[in-house]
Chains A and B, each alone.
Chain A
Amino acid sequence: MSMDTPTSQTLDDAFAALTEKIPYISFLGVTFQRRGDEVSALLTYTPDLIGNPILPALHGGATGAFLEITAITSLTWVAALERIHSEPKWDGTFAPQPKTVDFSIDYLRSGKPQDAYARAIILRRGRRVANVRVEAWQDERSKPFIAAHGHFLLS
C-alpha cells in the first residue's frame, strides 16, 4: 500500500462522520454501508414508520424521505472520496451538503411493514447540479416499491 492510499480505517471514519451525525437520519432509523464508491441504505422497520395501520403500510412520507436521504448520502460520499483521494493529507472536512432542488417520487406498491433497502444511481454530477435516480425494495431487488429522481445543488 502506498503512503497516499487512504486506509480502510480512514474511509470507515469518514463514512461514519458523514452518516452518523444527522439527527433526522437516526430518527427515521436509516443506516448505511459503503460499497466502494456506492452507498447501500437500510431502513429498519419499526411500527413508528406506519402510515396506514389498516393495510398496514409504511408511510409514504417516511419512504420518500428514505430515498431522499439515500440520494444525498450517495452524493456526499462520492464527493468525500474525491477529497480523500485528491489531497495527500486529507484535513477531515467535507464539501457542503447538497441541497435538494426538486424530488419526484413514484409510489409503485405499498411498503410492507418490514425492512427496506435503497440504492441511488448518480446519472450526472456536474459542477453545480447533480441528477440522481433512487429506488427502494423489500423482498425482491427487481420489484421496487418506490422510486424517485431528483436534482441537487452542489455549490
Chain B
Amino acid sequence: MTDNKFKNSIVPPLQENNEDGSLMSAIPHSRELGMRLVSRADDEAVLMIPYDPRLIGNPETGIMHGGAITALLDTCCGTAVMMSRKKPSSTATLDLRINYMKPATPEKSVYAHAHCYRATRSVGFVRAIAYHEDRDDPIATASAAFILNFKGDSA
C-alpha cells in the first residue's frame, strides 16, 4: 500500500495494531454486536464487527443488516472524536449520514475507519468508511457531526 493509493481517500490510512478491544466492552450495545477496537491514533479509529448470523438482514442472502453497519460507523466516528486532540471528556452524535455503496459480503468481518478531520470548541466533524479489506472499495461512507463535552462544562 503506497501513500499515493490513499491520495484521494476520504480518510488517511492507519496501521492496524490489534488493540485488545476493551474500550468497546464498556459500551453494552457495541459489546453485544461483537464490536472490536482494531486501532486508534490522534483523530482516528478503526473498529470492526465480525460476521455473526444474528446480524443478518436478508435470510436468503445472509448479508449483514445495514443497521449493524450504522452502529459500527456511529461508534467508530464517536471513538475518532474522543481521540481528537481537543480531548473531550464525552461526546454525543448530532447527525450521521450514511451512503451505502454495496451490500456487505456474507461471512466477512466489516471494518470501519473514521477520521475526525476538524474539532472546534463544541463540535467534532468526522468522515468514515466501512469496508472488508480494501478501503477503496467501500461498503458505505459516513459523514457526521458530534457535540463535544468537556469536564467542567455546564450541562
A interface with B by C-beta (< 8 Å): 21-28, 47-54, 57-62, 64-66, 68-69, 97, 99-107, 110
Chain B contact residue count (CB 8 A cutoff)? 37
Q: When A51-B27, A51-B29, A64-B71 are in contact, do A107 and B97 touch as well, CB less than 8 Å?
A: no
Determine the chain A residues whose CB is within 8 A of the CB of B29 once the complex forms. Answer: 48-51, 58-59, 61-62
Main secondary structure of the interface of A (DSSP, over half): mixed
Within 93-117 of B, Cβ neighbours of A (below 8 Å) are at 93-100, 103
Determine the chain A residues whose CB is within 8 A of the CB of B32 once the complex forms. Answer: 48
The answer to the question of B30 belonging to the interface, with a C-beta cut-off of 8 Å to chain A, is yes
Query: In chain B, what residue has the closest Cβ to A108?
Result: B94
Contact with A along B31-73 (1 / 0, CB 8 A): 0110000000000000000000111111100001111101111
Q: Are A107 and B93 in contact (CB under 8 A)?
A: yes
Candidates A23, A60, A61; contact of B59 at CB < 8 Å: A23
Q: Are A23 and B54 in contact (CB under 8 A)?
A: yes
Determine the chain A residues whose CB is within 8 A of the CB of B59 once the complex forms. Answer: 21-23
Candidates B28, B33, B58, B92; contact of A107 at CB < 8 Å: B92
